[in-house]
């Protein structure tokens, strides 16, 4: 049985097998402007909110564009994919059902806007399982800080120490731990470059959700 009252999940790369999609979107977005997407750019924008990522992109490449315009383009590029194509990681749905059946409250802490994460969770058949949602657009700082996890835990009615935060990036693990949360690092190929760091930071780590279900 889980020894926590609430579980807070990141989506991209943690519950959703979607990081490859964002790499494609980043590459296509920059290619439209004659710029090649580099690995360090993708790593830099991954923990940021849409607004912070847009401002970073403008500053890095000297773009004569507005954050609002860039965000609108990203949303248009990603909306169809999240509504129809993005799938959950193997056994993630089964783990959510296990937690729900054990009386654990479920929350989301994501950089995605509701018009992206709601359709993705709905078409994967898990939207109804969640008790609370928090998006980076609702807080002032990114995932290197505890703000989004504190908002999610407040909406779940659980103290940080009663929550387990599931994240696939070191910034998320660090931000959650700074807020007093327990943390579980979830392996994703797109953050493999920092897996050793995540293993050193998180209270526990898992490479496959089936490992949490006791399935071999």
Question: Which tens digits make up the pLDDT trace of 66-109?
Answer: 999 999 999 889 888 898 889 999 999 999 999 999 999 999 99
**Confidence at 215, pLDDT banded by 50, 70, 90:** low
pLDDT at 129: 98
Do the domain assignments include residue 91?
Answer: yes
Residue 20, pLDDT score: 84
Same domain, 93 and 77: no
Does a structural domain hold residue 78? yes
Whether 17 contacts 89, CB under 8 Å: yes
Domain count, the chain: 2
Tell me if 157 is assigned to some domain. Answer: yes
- What CATH number should be reported for the domain holding residue 77? 1.10.150
Q: Are residues 152 and 198 both part of a single domain?
A: yes
Which of the listed residues 49, 69, 84 is the one where a domain comes to its end? 84
In this structure, the answer to whether residues 70 and 156 fall within a common structural domain is: no
Strands (E) across the chain are located at 6-9, 105-110, 132-135, 163-167, 182-186, 204-206
Q: What pLDDT is attached to residue 156?
A: 98
Q: Is 46 helix (H, G, I), strand (E, B) or coil?
A: coil
- How far CA 201 is from CA of 9, 75, 83, 156, 194, in Å, comes to 17, 32, 33, 25, 11
Which residues does 115 contact at the CB level (< 8 Å), separation at least 6?
75, 79
Domain limit, last residue, from 84, 101, 119: 84
**What value does the mean pLDDT take over residues 157-165?**
98
**In a shared domain, residues 43 and 134:** no
Whole-model pTM? 0.83
What pLDDT score does 43 carry? 85
111: Cβ contacts below 8 Å, ≥ 6 apart: 12, 47, 48, 49, 50, 135, 136, 142, 143
Assess whether 184 and 107 both reside in one domain: yes
Q: What domain range is 72 assigned to? A: 19-84
User: In percent, how much of the chain has pLDDT > 70?
Assistant: 99
Say if residue 140 is in the same domain as residue 205: yes
Q: pLDDT-derived band of residue 64, with 50, 70 and 90 as boundaries?
A: very high
Tokens 């609702």 appear where?
A: 138
| Cβ 137 vs Cβ 115: under 8 Å | no
Residue 175 in domain: yes
Tell me: do 10 and 61 sit in the same domain: no
Does 202 lie in the same domain as 146? Answer: yes
**What confidence score (pLDDT) does residue 133 get?**
98
Question: pLDDT tens digits for 101-112?
Answer: 999 999 999 998
State whether 57 and 102 are in the same domain: no
* Same domain, yes or no: 24 and 52: yes
Nearest to 165 by CA among 65, 151, 213, 83: 151
- Choice among 44-58, 143-157, 162-176 with the minimum mean pLDDT: 44-58
- Residue 202 and residue 184 in contact, taking contact as beta carbons nearer than 8 Å: yes
Q: Does residue 143 sit in the same domain as residue 205?
A: yes
Please give the full DSSP string across 70-119, using - where no structure is assigned: HHHHHHHHHHHHHHHT--BPTTHHHHHHHHHHTT-EEEEEESS-HHHHHH
Best CA proximity match to 129, nearest among 107, 112, 148 = 107
Last residue within a domain, chosen from 54, 84, 114: 84
Tell me: do 59 and 110 sit in the same domain. no
């Amino acid at each position: 049985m889980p020894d926590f009252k609430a579980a807070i999940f990141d989506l991209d790369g943690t519950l959703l097998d979607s990081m490859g999609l964002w790499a494609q979107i980043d590459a296509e977005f920059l290619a439209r402007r004659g710029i090649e997407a580099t690995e360090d750019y993708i790593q830099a924008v991954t923990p940021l909110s849409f607004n912070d990522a847009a401002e970073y992109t403008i500053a890095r490449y000297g773009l004569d564009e507005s954050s609002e315009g860039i965000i609108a383009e990203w949303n248009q590029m990603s909306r169809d994919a999240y509504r129809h194509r993005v799938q959950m990681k193997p056994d993630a749905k089964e783990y959510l059902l296990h937690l729900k059946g054990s009386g654990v409250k479920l929350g989301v802490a994501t950089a995605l806007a509701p018009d992206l994460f709601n359709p993705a969770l709905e078409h994967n058949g898990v939207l109804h399982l969640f008790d609370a949602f928090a998006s980076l657009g609702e807080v002032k700082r990114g995932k290197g800080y505890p703000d989004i996890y504190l908002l999610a835990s407040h909406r779940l009615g659980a103290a940080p120490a009663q929550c387990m935060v599931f994240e696939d990036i070191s910034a998320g693990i660090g931000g959650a731990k700074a807020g007093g949360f327990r943390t579980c690092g979830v392996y994703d190929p797109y953050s493999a470059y920092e897996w050793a760091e995540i293993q050193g930071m998180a209270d526990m780590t898992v490479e496959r959700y089936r490992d949490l279900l006791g399935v071999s």
